[in-house]
């Protein structure tokens, strides 16, 4: 899912996957101690989750997720179905306002960016064709909303075919438009008679990376599909220094757009230029399953990719247990620079990565381990935050959770060097908070 102000120069783009606007700080200059400043939860009696967080221009924060609650602090919906859920917080994490967007079916917000005019753009996937949504072509469509600074809808657009089409990440481009990425249900697109991609779409299989460029009013400018005959899904995107885009996800395919595969599922990166033309692709993994969930720009013009691995061979230098967090550093052309695994004997996986101001990286995910790199677990899955240096060496780690299932989905390094992370909890005993419903959005700030 990339989430911060990035690259001011020849190309200015806002990315929900990237934080790289400042000069590197040394560890001593950053003064970060990893101490919890506050833990807060939001939601009603239903299921509520936070999927993405950004710091806003006023020093506060905006969080996007989805909710099926109709009570608690959620007062603008009546149906117990999932709606996009946007929360605006001040600099101290206090709720200023929250709004939901959707209709009578399943609508799930995934990523957001603050726009040049101070408003917001949201992306995710939606089934509704009523309420706030005007069009749906079947099951889930990519659904994009443009809001003003108060969260009021300025316009909304759906992009999809008759199958399940999901969008997971969005950035604003220098021309004021937007680029978003996810996956296309190729089987349904083929059934709809779609003949895009130079009339070769029908050669492809189950699902493909899908990258879409729209203008500042939501009108389609171009879109590209990339993959093979099996299941390929993009989860995140960042801008490249030359004005293009690099998408990250996973691939099950070993043909057509995909070369040099390693195993069952691989990390897969795709670079396109500013007009969506294919530039390069890279696969990373072993003979087992690897799935990447996020990508961030690095200070040397390369990229760092985070997810999880089950493999003990191939590109994976060390396996520590059932599933490990896997962090991969590549250069500007996508060539492997280094890779690191983090975890213990249990299941560990990453959902988000950012480049830190001191030149290292923060990786957020979840862990069930209590050994090796993970020193503490409160029960089931805990939210797990990792700090590394610039070479991927583990500097420190910290877990947050209760006796049940807790997930971390996104994080931001604030202007003051603090870290704010967002996720969800169903634990009735999650540290300092009292559970409000079946699952709550949880917010943790560390300084």
Angle at 214 between CA 213 and CA 215, to 5 degrees: 135
Please indicate whether residue 25 or residue 359 has the higher confidence score (pLDDT): 359
107 pLDDT above the threshold of 70: yes
Q: Is the pLDDT of residue 388 over 80?
A: yes
pLDDT at 342: 98
Predicted pLDDT at 301? 97
How confident is the model over 434-444, as a mean pLDDT? 97
Closest CA to 56 of 9, 118, 102, 105: 118
Q: Please, where are the H alpha helices in 26-112? A: 27-30
Mean pLDDT of the chain: 89
- Taking residue 212's Cβ as centre, other Cβ atoms within 10 Å add up to 24
Question: Cα–Cα distance between 329 and 334 in angstroms, integer?
Answer: 9
Burial class for 152, CB neighbours closer than 10 Å (0-12, 13-18, 19+):
exposed
Q: Which of 89-98, 129-138, 141-150, 358-367 comes out lowest in average pLDDT?
A: 129-138
Report the number of distinct structural domains present in the chain. Answer: 1
Distances (CA, A) of 262 to 227, 246, 252, 286: 15, 20, 10, 5
Distance CA 119, CA 166 (A): 23
pLDDT at 396 over 70: yes
Find the CATH number of the domain harbouring 34: 2.130.10.10
For the entire predicted model, the pTM comes to: 0.91
Share of the chain above pLDDT 90, in %: 78
Whether residue 6 has pLDDT greater than 80: no
159-190 pLDDT, tens digit each: 988 778 999 999 999 999 999 999 887 555 44
Euclidean distance between CA atoms 77 and 102, whole angstroms: 9
Does the structure show a pLDDT above 80 at 95? Answer: yes
* pLDDT for the residue 204: 57
| Secondary element (H or E) of residue 188 | helix 186-191
Residue 42 C-alpha from the chain's centroid: 20
The C-alpha R_g of the chain, in whole angstroms, comes to 20
N-term to C-term CA, the chain: 23
Averaged over 11-26, what is the pLDDT?
36
Is the four-CA dihedral 55, 56, 58, 63 of positive or negative sign? negative
Q: What is the pLDDT of residues 198-211, one digit of tens each?
A: 344 445 556 678 89
SS3 288: coil
Most confident range, picked from 4-18, 42-56, 227-241, 247-261: 42-56
- The count of other CB atoms within 10 Å of the CB of residue 23 is 7
For residue 33, pLDDT beyond 60: yes
Segments forming the whole domain that contains residue 290: 4-446
Point out the least confidently predicted range of 74-78, 230-234, 303-307, 356-360.
Answer: 230-234
Each residue's pLDDT tens digit, 304-337: 999 999 999 999 999 999 999 999 999 999 999 9
pLDDT recorded at residue 256:
84
- Report the C-alpha gap between 349 and 352 in whole angstroms: 10
The pLDDT value recorded for residue 262 is: 85
Please tell me the distance from the alpha carbon of residue 438 to that of residue 369, in angstroms, as a whole number.
24
User: Does an H or E element contain 387, and which?
Assistant: strand 382-388
- Please state, in angstroms and rounded to a whole number, the distance separating the CA atoms of residues 48 and 62: 15
DSSP secondary structure, 322-372, as one string: SBEEEEEEE-TT--EEEEEEE--SSBEEEEEEEE-TTS-EEEEEEE---ST
| CA–CA gap between residue 167 and residue 12 (Å, rounded) | 22
């Amino acid at each position: 899912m990339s989430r911060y102000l990035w690259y001011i120069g020849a190309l200015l783009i806002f990315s929900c996957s990237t934080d790289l606007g400042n000069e590197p700080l040394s560890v001593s200059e950053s003064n970060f101690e990893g101490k919890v400043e506050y833990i807060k939860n939001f939601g009603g009696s239903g299921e509520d989750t936070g999927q993405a967080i950004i710091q806003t221009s006023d020093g506060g924060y905006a969080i996007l997720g989805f909710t099926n609650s109709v009570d608690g602090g959620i007062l603008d919906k009546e149906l117990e179905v999932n709606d996009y859920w946007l929360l605006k917080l001040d600099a101290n994490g206090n709720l200023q306002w929250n709004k939901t967007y959707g209709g009578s079916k399943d609508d799930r917000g995934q990523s957001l960016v603050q726009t040049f005019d101070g408003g917001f753009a949201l992306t995710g996937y939606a089934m509704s064709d009523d309420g706030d949504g005007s069009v749906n072509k079947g099951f889930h469509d990519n659904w994009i909303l443009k809001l003003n600074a108060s969260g009021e809808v300025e316009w909304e657009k759906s992009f999809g075919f008759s199958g399940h089409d999901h969008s997971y990440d969005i950035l604003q481009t220098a021309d004021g438009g937007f680029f978003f990425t996810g996956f296309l249900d190729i089987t349904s697109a083929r059934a709809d008679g779609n003949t895009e991609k130079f009339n070769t779409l029908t050669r492809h299989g189950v699902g493909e990376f899908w990258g879409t460029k729209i203008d500042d009013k939501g009108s389609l400018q171009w879109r590209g599909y990339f993959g093979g005959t099996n299941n390929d899904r993009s989860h995140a995107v960042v801008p490249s220094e030359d004005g293009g885009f690099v998408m990250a996800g996973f691939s099950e395919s070993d043909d057509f757009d995909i070369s040099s595969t390693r195993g069952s599922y691989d990390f897969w990166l795709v670079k396109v230029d500013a007009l969506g033309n294919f530039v390069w692709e890279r696969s990373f993994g072993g003979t087992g399953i690897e799935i990447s969930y996020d990508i961030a720009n690095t200070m040397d013009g390369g990229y760092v990719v985070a997810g999880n691995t089950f493999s003990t061979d191939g590109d994976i230098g060390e396996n520590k247990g059932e599933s490990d967090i896997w962090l991969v550093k590549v250069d500007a052309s996508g060539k492997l620079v280094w890779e690191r695994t983090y975890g213990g004997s249990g299941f560990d996986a990453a959902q988000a990565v950012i480049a830190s101001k001191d030149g290292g990286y923060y990786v957020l995910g979840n862990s069930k381990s209590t050994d090796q790199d993970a020193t503490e677990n409160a029960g089931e899955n805990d939210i797990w935050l990792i700090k590394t240096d610039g070479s991927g060496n583990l500097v420190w780690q910290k877990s947050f959770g209760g006796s049940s299932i807790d997930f971390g989905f996104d994080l931001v390094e604030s202007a003051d060097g603090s870290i704010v992370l967002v996720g969800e909890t169903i634990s009735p005993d999650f540290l300092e908070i009292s559970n409000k419903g079946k699952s709550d959005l949880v917010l943790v700030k560390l300084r």
